[in-house]
Chain A
Amino acid sequence: MPPDLRGTVSVWLTRQAQVAIEALGRLTRTPASSLMTVAVIGIALSLPTSLYVLLDNLQRLSGSWDGAATLSLYLRQEIDDGAAERLARKLRLDPAIADVRVIGKQAAIEEFKRFSGFGQALDALDYNPLPAVLVIQPTQEESEPDAAETLAGRLRALPEADQVQLDLQWVKRFHAITRIARRGVLLIGGILGLAVLLTIGNTIRLEIQNRRQEIEIAKLVGATDAFIRRPFLYTGLWYGLFGGLLAWLLVGGALFLLSGPVERLAGLYESDFSLSWLGPGTTLTLLLIGTLLGLAGAWLSVSRHLNDISPV
């Protein structure tokens, strides 16, 4: 870089830093109203963020359910336990299948007696009415609802098969609901983002009004629009950034309060599920969105109101 250009760049950078710090200083000079604005922005941002985190956790939860998806293959009545075992050995070789557990006719009836309380009634029968059942655990990839459905179809086509039960309906529903919820979060996020934009825009508008004279004088001595816009853009940026930080604290606090009870609840279900925190990616995105909304709100407001101030 030639020295004069380097000088210009360093003057420019110094100036940017100076304006940014001035804008920050201005916020701290009116702490009550600045905090109020930051609070409004923080709360508005925290709502879609917490919904997003909630959804993220639900999806992780459903992910662990997907893994547990099993198929029950009821064999025809006349298939005996030996044939069931042979079929099980064959199925274990299937690449889509992770594990096969055999519940033989005898085991089935004992289980039934134990859980149903119809023991005496069954004793009265002179034959075992229950079929052998193969409980099939698909591999991870085949646990997705669609893949599991395909596997169920293949099993149903086996000559030994009587009935295949795939208890996936609720998993599918859950997936559908989370898809809707995800769209809902986007929608709510959009609406609240607009609210943040308007809040910052309005705050900046008041700020412009308060500094009208200063803007006029700067224009008189040859300030460009970019020069005049800059401090307001930094003000918007700070508001957005601090709003994002506040939202992060609010959501983090809520997660902290919820994590204990959730882990206890999960413990009751013998699950080691625990709430996931705001990861670095989510945190960064939240702060970035806050900052960008702040900048955009300030930009819109300044563009709208700057030309009202004469001299143009």
Chain B
Amino acid sequence: MIYFDNVSKRYPGGHYGLRDVTLHIAPGEMVFLTGHSGAGKSTLLRLTGLLERATRGQIRVNGRTLSRVGARQIPYHRREVGMIFQDHRLLHDRTVFDNVALPLVVSGLGHRDIGRRVRAALDKVGLLNREKAYPITLSGGEQQRVGIARAVVSRPPLVLADEPTGNLDPELSADIMHLFEAFNEVGVTLLIASHDLALISTLRHRVITLDHGQRVADSADAA
């Protein structure tokens, strides 16, 4: 699902976000990405979602070579990759329903299909009864679940999550992770950046560790 082949990301100013990273994540895997702050976790996710472009190396996602994706094709790539952020990135002047519907509206889906799919996604994250609420009236955990519903509503084969439990207490964090496991069970590939090592260790999934932009450990190699 995801191939990185000697990928480097050098930011303007000379700083490296990633350095010669090679990795392969198979379809249906659920993988955690850890490392110290500034290790390059977010950079790796941003490259995968084409929010940024690599300076060197090849990236292939879902059969698509990202360096060959032109500016006009970027939106179509993003529609196949659900993205979840620590700060949720919700629209506060739109209802929960409208927030979750956004990816479907953007891809031009019909009104009736949107309603059906949004409710299905909200149902999965347990927020079906809050569809008319505004995000500001929800708790942090609930807002994060709205973000998750938005990421999966268009049923992308790949979901990326950047510190999805960063601000949540341990119990809510575990809930969110179990939600991800439920998606994984139906075949969604997940790549989750997190430095909650305690939580990750209880979950028995593959863990990739970055350090100063380099891949320094991978539980798949050890196995």
Contact = CB atoms under 8 A, between A and B. Distances in A.
A216 B107 CA distance: 16
B109 A218 contact: no
Interface in A1-19: 7-8, 11-12, 14-15
B111 A221 contact: no
A168 B52 CA distance: 75
B91 A213 contact: yes
Nearest to A310: B51
A38 B46 CA distance: 42
Interface size class on chain A is 20 to 34
Interface residues of B, number: 27
Given A214-B91, A220-B78, A11 B83 contact: no
A268 B107 CA distance: 69
Contacts of A180: none
B71 interface: yes
B111 A11 contact: yes
Interface in B23-69: 46, 49-52
Given A11-B110, A15-B108, A221 B91 contact: no
A224 B107 CA distance: 9
A222 B91 contact: no
A21 to B, nearest CB: 14
A222 B111 contact: no
Q: Which of A12, A216, A219 has the most CB of B within 10 A?
A: A219
A35 to B, nearest CB: 22
B215 interface: no
A311 B45 CA distance: 13
B108 A222 contact: no
A222 B51 contact: no
22 contacts: A7-B110, A11-B109, A11-B110, A12-B108, A213-B91, A214-B91, A217-B89, A217-B102, A220-B89, A221-B79, A221-B150, A222-B78, A222-B103, A222-B106, A222-B107, A223-B75, A224-B72, A224-B75, A225-B75, A227-B106, A311-B52, A312-B71
